[in-house]
Structure 1
């Protein structure tokens, strides 16, 4: 099942070329900034979700997908967790001496999320900003010190994530947390649709040219290992998102570019790039003369 947010936070099941509006069927009250899908994930974790079988959806409004404005399925996840250097080919291209096994994971600000069709806003005119296409794992059950064999039992679903990165000297969490630096979408595919997340084709294009092409089978820490490791460091809660790492092919994005990430069995996420308000790096707030 594919679940999406659309048209000012309404919740839908994607059914072919239509959206079935299940906002009133699957949510209660105001879901707040985290959004209706986040509320639904929490309801599922508590065992209190409404039925979503086709028989239970008869008579609900249907909207052509072409007429809807899709939004980030999780506009404010509790945590966004990144896995640095989780493909060997990316390690080689960046000339890193370490991998995720040495570095552990990092956090991105949840305020950096945008959805399909929105723009990545470049902060600097003179610092390279790169695209990084990644499989996103959405946690569905609280996970703390879970084992590799049980890790997938804690997954709600999967989505596309672009981990946008400024190549400057700050810590990863700073360089990757600018507003708009975490496009997510176009929807979440529930875990039952993807029995093996470590066998998915991934492709990322910028300006119509393919830059990244891989299979998640090449991850250093596969999805199971990544969940197990991360849950040994921090408790994972329903609605948290793990970005599993990017393969070789990262490169600069510029004003007017279109960035497209496609992941097999998950979906296609497309966003734009806006550099119209970028400033020189030396003009950033807080700079001090040396």
Structure 2
């Protein structure tokens, strides 16, 4: 099972990486500051599905350094960002201030969000790539989403596909499954000194605890809360080099498999509505 300190372990990891991520060209912070029309790559990818957010209140769960949060605000939403890492929120607040966009940031883990937000509800709850894996219980996550959505509100999720998370990215030769596809009681313990963006920083805090959640588990958890699934699209691309040596980056910044991209979903976009 998740150890009691999994939040502290993962918080320390994110706290150390936040400044490096903010200074990495992969997050394009300076471009977002310089160009008031610029959007993060993740939000730009799903812009047609997000649509015009004018007049909506939005909450970005696990917002990290706030590049997606800022981008959603630029699409018209009045945004709040929530994250467990104070160092990440420092970077997010600095970005919003430099960009001249008012965004409210709250420090809390996902399961504590309803209490931390004092019962506030939102028209849009957004979760981006690489977020759900830090949560041990997807059903509990769905309950939080339900609590945070206003009647008629929309969940918007783009996430790494659980099939991708199950592969061992260090495997040589054929692709090999190295991790669970389904949610497990025990976390995946990792001790990796790197990170997923270009940086020269050498990290000292390397331990993480994570979990995978099957696509059916995510969908079922939302259905069990009464949400209506309105879209589920599996994509052949992912916004980082998830399987090194096997992928090529396209003009849109997304990475795709060099061979047989039709064989493996890499990310998915899911939307769901709360009854009004």
TM-score range, shorter chain: under 0.3
TM-score (norm 1): 0.26
Higher strand share: 1
Higher helix share: 2
TM-score (norm 2): 0.27
Q: Which has the higher contact order (CA 8 A, sep 6+)?
A: 1
- Highest Rg: 1 or 2? 1
